[in-house]
Amino acid sequence: MPQTITKGIKTLLAEANETVTAITLDDAAKLLGSDDHVFVDLRDIRELKRAGKIPGAFSCPRGMLEFWIDPESPYHKDIFNQDKTYVFYCASAWRSALSAKTAKEMGLNPVVHIEGGFSAWLKADAPVEKVD
């Protein structure tokens, strides 16, 4: 018997984008190097090695996000326990929208994500840091 999906990705993304602020590439670029912001790259390590990342971004694979945010988790990362704005991004702004919504629901705030994701960042010829 086939599965009946009652809420698809289009609906999930629409709901996320209703609750999460998306910032433009220009606005994101202006925040580079800011002590008040943490850029969080949600892409897989293979994606980072292939294309690089936004300079100074913290790499958090999407599958570990909730575990790294929660201070009660044995996997918690202190980077998620700062009084800063978190700027999430992924390849196309899909994972980042869903991740930002989840992070906000967990209590991490403020959280925004970058319109168009890293693909748009590359297309705009914005700075990239290599990942080994």
Tens digit of each residue's pLDDT, the chain (132 residues): 899 999 999 999 999 999 999 999 999 999 999 999 999 999 999 999 999 999 999 999 999 999 999 999 999 999 999 999 999 999 999 999 999 999 999 999 999 999 999 999 999 999 999 998
Number of Cβ atoms within 10 Å of the Cβ of 67: 13
Is the domain spanning 9-123 CATH 3.40.720.10? The answer is: no
Domain boundaries, the chain: 9-123
